[in-house]
Amino acid sequence: MIKILLLIGSGSFLGGVTRYLVSKTIHETFTTSFPFGTFAVNIFGCLLLGIIYGISERASFTNTELKMFLTVGFCGGFTTFSTFAGEGFALLRDSNIIYFSLYAGLSVVLGVLAMALGIALVRVLI
């Protein structure tokens, strides 16, 4: 268990650093108020997670440690949006349309509301 946690942690570190560098580079390239850096990282993270899952299914990729390093670690550190997309895709693949709709809709709406609530709490308390 410790080995898996260290692999996930190191993958997350590398993914987070990569996210920062890629997002910063894109943001400096496109000077607009649209968050191209975050947008690009999220979409690329989804593509990367899809490639990893595709290879895993196609090539009978059974190295759990490497898969955890790449998916939970690197992709999770690079963007949690990729995890959200992967879980949403799994729900659709399994024909769980209602759960997918609830998961996607509530994640976006409640996520934005939770962000607003967090800001409001800080303003009130501090």
Residues 27 and 42 in one domain: yes
**Where residue 105 falls among pLDDT bands split at 50, 70, 90?**
very high
Q: Give exposure, 14-24, as e/b (b: 16+ Cβ within 10 Å).
A: ebbebbeebbe
* Block residue for tokens 């299914």: 57
Residues 52 and 13 in one domain: yes
Instruction: Give the range with max mean pLDDT: 12-21, 58-67, 78-87, 108-117.
Output: 12-21
**Where residue 21 falls among pLDDT bands split at 50, 70, 90?**
very high
Residues 117 and 62 in one domain: no
- What's the structural domain count of the chain? 2
**Where residue 115 falls among pLDDT bands split at 50, 70, 90?**
confident
Q: Is the pLDDT of residue 60 over 80?
A: no
Residues 63 and 49 in one domain: yes
pTM of the model: 0.76
Residues 19 and 58 in one domain: yes
Residues 109 and 126 in one domain: yes
Q: How many whole angstroms separate alpha carbon 98 and alpha carbon 106?
A: 12
Pick 50 or 14 by higher pLDDT.
14
Instruction: Give the C-alpha distances (Å, rounded to integers) separating 64 from 57, 67, 68, 70, 96.
Output: 13, 5, 6, 10, 26
Q: Domain range for residue 117? A: 96-126
Residues 85 and 101 in one domain: no
Residues 15 and 38 in one domain: yes
